Amino acid sequence: MNILLTGGAGYIGTVLAKNLYKSKNVDKVIIYDNMSRQNYNLFLGHFIENRENITFINGDILDLRKLGKLLKEVDVVYHLAARVSTPFASVDPHFHEQVNHWGTAELVSAVEESNVSKFIYTSSTSVYGASDDYVNEESSPNPKTFYGISKLRGEDHVRRLMKKMDAYILRCANVYGYSSSMRFDAVINRFMFDANFTNKISIHGNGKQFRAFIHVNLLVKVLMDMLEKEVPSGIYNVVDCNLQILDIVDVIKEIYPTLEFIFINQHLDLRQMKVEADSLLRKYIDYQNKETLKYELLYFKERFSF
């Protein structure tokens, strides 16, 4: 099968691309990315023996004509391209709306005119907004940020495809862990960077707020399994665990014993989000994390140059 991977040079896309072109069931991987984050690590550091089965196209998600031409030879689309932000940040409304909403609309329109048989969209648990109680797929979305709003609007377009093909909306938790194309705006990744190079981290609020998380490798396993497993079209949360910020800090202190941390606006109870880890998707795909957070972060630490 031939795969189109939008956002393929990004944080998740880089890991997914490396797994896809090694798969025996994949004939060709087309990586589609506008390189807006100027992250070129996908193209460095490892050698691909069969270069014919992987192609890079520098293109924008809003370029309907270019997408339409590429989709003529595509069986499966992974739509990862997005303007991303931390869960409760509310900046750049124009860019979020343009890329996450209208970019998804353009891609869906192109897919509707193609022979694509499967469409996988990585949305976000940010569409639920904030809640002190656990939410699940039956909970009503109530986004609080421009990012969450734009991802939910993108979902509306993907829903149209569910009547025509296998189409999936995967609401992913906060992704963390090492990838050669790193994001350091996500909370755990940022903590690790600051701890390693400055020995000091900043905690916003009192640190008692919860977030839902999933390791990048575990998420990629789910995305790979979506190719082969029989999963009904629908909306699924992809969550591994819910962690309190202070619990994350405790683990990092085990790795960096002299770590210092300061609280910013400690008197504030910041918004939190807890998502049931027992997702509907687990009925079809087994994605248990077999590693401890400490093990994962030690591996992360080993990837730093110094």
Range scoring the smallest mean pLDDT among 85-89, 252-256, 291-295:
85-89
Report pLDDT for 50. 66
Number of domains in the chain: 1
**Predicted confidence (pLDDT) per residue in 258-278, tens digit:** 999 999 998 888 889 999 999
Res 38: pLDDT: 82
Confidence band of 164 (pLDDT split at 50, 70, 90): very high
CB-based contacts of 74: which residues, under 8 Å, 6+ apart? 2, 3, 4, 30, 114, 116
Residue 180 lies in a domain: no
Q: How far apart are CA 260 and CA 253, in angstroms?
A: 9
Q: How far apart are CA 136 and CA 44, in angstroms?
A: 39
Domain span at residue 14 reads 2-174+213-239+276-288
Q: Is 247 inside any structural domain?
A: no
- Does residue 260 lie within any of the structural domains? no
Section 285-290 average pLDDT: 92
What are the start-end ranges of the H helices in the chain? 11-20, 64-70, 93-96, 104-112, 146-161, 187-197, 216-228, 245-255, 293-303
Report, as an integer, the average pLDDT of 204-222.
Answer: 96
CB 182 within 8 A of CB 305: no
- Residue 21 within any structural domain of the chain: yes
User: Is the predicted pLDDT of residue 194 greater than 90, yes or no?
Assistant: yes
Is residue 204 domain-resident?
no
d(CA 239, CA 287): 9
CA distances from 233 to 27, 75, 167, 293 (A): 24, 16, 5, 32
- Cα gap 126→21, rounded to integer Å: 30
Tell me, what's the pLDDT at 89? 54
Q: What is the CATH number of the domain that holds 144?
A: 3.40.50.720
Per-residue pLDDT reduced to its tens digit, 129-138:
999 999 999 9
In a domain, 199, yes or no: no
Determine, yes or no, domain membership for 22: yes
Q: What is the pLDDT of residue 142?
A: 95
Say what the pLDDT of residue 22 is: 87
% the chain with pLDDT above 70: 95
Q: Average pLDDT, whole number, for the chain?
A: 93
**Per-residue pLDDT tens digits for 115-129:** 999 999 999 999 999
Cα angle 25-22-226, degrees, rounded to a multiple of 5: 55
Q: Provide, rounded to the nearest whole percent, the portion of the chain with pLDDT above 90.
A: 82
Residue 305: burial class (beta carbons within 10 Å; 0-12, 13-18, 19+)? exposed
Determine, yes or no, domain membership for 59: yes
